[in-house]
Amino acid sequence: MNSTINEKFKGRSLLTLLDYEAEEIRFLLDLSKQVKAEKGSCKQRFTGKTLALLFEKRSTRTRCAFETAFGEEGGHPVFLSTADIQLGAKESVEDTARVLGRMFSAIQFRGFKQSTVETLASCSGVPVYNGLTDSFHPTQVLADIMTLEENFGDCKGKKLCFVGDGRNNVARSLMVICSKLGVHFTVITPPALNPDWELIELCAPISAGSGAKIRVTDDLSEVSGSDAVYTDVWTSMGEEDKKAERIALLSPYQVNPTLMAKTGRADTIFLHCLPAVKGEEVTADVIDGPMSRAWDEAENRKHTIKAIMLASLDCL
C-alpha cells in the first residue's frame, strides 16, 4: 500500500470523482479488489465507528452496501430517511450537518441536490459520501470500472459505451471516471438528452491527459468494438413526470440482442447500475443472459464502498 496516497484519504469526502486524481481512483480500485478477496474474513476495522445514512430517495444496493460493509466490521450504521429527520425542512442542512458531525464518524447522503451533499461535507467536519444525487453517482462508477477490470484487466484503453439517457447522474459520473482513467467512453443518446456541455468541457482536458476518447453521438453503430455496453433507467428518480416523453425518445436506444450484436464482438459485457426496468432500457434476454455482469457489478458496490470507508476513516 502506498502510504503517501493512503495519507491523502484520511478524513476525505467523496462528493464527485472530479475531486480525485487518477492515481487516487486507482488506489481505491486496487483496495476494492483486496477487500473482495478478503470476503468472509472476520476483520473488525470499523469497531467504535458510526455512520449516518441519509436518504431522500429510495435505495436497495447503496443502502445495503453501506450498512453491511460497515456493520459486518463492527461499525454502527444508522438509517435516517426524510420521514425521520428534518433535512432542509424545519432545520437547515447546515445545522443538521453540524449536529451529525458531533455524533457520527461519517455521513452518507442520497438525494436530489449536489449542493446538499456539498453542504453536509463543508459543515459536518466528517467524511461525507455521495450515494447519488441528481448530478453524480460516484460510488456506482467505481464498482462499474472494477467490474470492467474483472473481465478485461486494466481499464486503460478499453471502450465503454453508455446507451440511453446521456444526461443522467450515472452517465455523467461514467464520463468523469473514464476521462480520469483513460477509458474510451461513448455516450449514445438522442440529442435532446446529451450530457451538458459544461461537464463535457470540464472532462476535455482530463481526457486529453489520460488518453481517453470521449464521444457523444446518436449513432447506434458507434457501439462497435465496445468492451462493455452500459445502460440505466430512462426515467431517473425524481423525474417520474417525464416517463412518457422518455419512452418516446429512447425506445430506439433499447439494449437488446440486435444492439449487442452491433458491437461485432462475442465477448462484450453488459453493465447496468440497477434497478432495471426490463422491457424498457434493456430486454430480459440481455440482462439475464450470458453477457450480463450486472449482478457482479451490484456485489462490487459493497467492496468499493467498504474501500472508500476504510481509506477515509483511516481504518486500513
Residues lying near ligand CP in the complex (CB under 6 A)? 59-62, 132, 140, 273-275
Residue from the set 67, 222, 232, 281 that interacts with ligand NVA by CB under 6 A: 232
Active-site annotation holder among 12, 110, 272, 293: 110
Active-site annotation holder among 161, 273, 303, 315: 273
Select from ligand NVA, ligand CP, none the partner in contact with residue 53, using the beta carbon and a kind-dependent cut-off of 5 to 8 Å: none
Q: Indicate if 254 belongs to the active site.
A: no
The verdict on 233 binding ligand NVA (CB under 6 A) reads: yes
Q: To the nearest whole angstrom, how small is the minimum distance from the Cβ of residue 286 to ligand NVA?
A: 18
The verdict on 231 binding ligand NVA (CB under 6 A) reads: no
Coil, helix or strand at residue 62: helix
Q: Indicate if 95 belongs to the active site.
A: no
Q: Indicate if 227 belongs to the active site.
A: no
How many angstroms separate the CA atoms of 117 and 134, rounded?
Answer: 11
Q: Which residue has the cell 476535455?
A: 204
Residue from the set 13, 168, 179, 304 that interacts with ligand NVA by CB under 6 A: 168
Give residues 94-153 in contact with ligand NVA (rule: CB under 6 A).
132
What's the alpha-carbon Rg for the chain, to the nearest Å?
19
Q: To the nearest whole angstrom, how small is the minimum distance from the Cβ of residue 287 to ligand NVA?
A: 14
Backbone angles phi, psi at 187, to 5 degrees: -100, 120
Active-site annotation holder among 26, 140, 165, 293: 140
The verdict on 32 binding ligand NVA (CB under 6 A) reads: no
How many angstroms separate the CA atoms of 168 and 162, rounded?
Answer: 11
- Nearest CA among 226, 222, 166 for reference residue 190: 166
How many angstroms separate the CA atoms of 85 and 64, rounded?
Answer: 20
Q: Indicate if 301 belongs to the active site.
A: yes
By residue count, the chain amounts to 316
How many angstroms separate the CA atoms of 42 and 38, rounded?
Answer: 9
How many angstroms separate the CA atoms of 185 and 233, rounded?
Answer: 19
Q: Is-cis flag, bond preceding 275, omega within 30?
A: yes
Q: To the nearest whole angstrom, how small is the minimum distance from the Cβ of residue 110 to ligand NVA?
A: 9
Q: To the nearest whole angstrom, how small is the minimum distance from the Cβ of residue 169 to ligand CP?
A: 9
Select from ligand CP, ligand NVA, none the partner in contact with residue 169, using the beta carbon and a kind-dependent cut-off of 5 to 8 Å: ligand NVA
How many angstroms separate the CA atoms of 83 and 62, rounded?
Answer: 18
Report whether 297 contacts 147 (CB < 8 A).
yes
The verdict on 281 binding ligand NVA (CB under 6 A) reads: no
Q: Which residues bind to ligand NVA, rule: CB under 6 A?
A: 132, 168-170, 232-233, 236-237, 273
Query: What residues are annotated to the active site?
Result: 110, 137, 140, 232, 273, 301
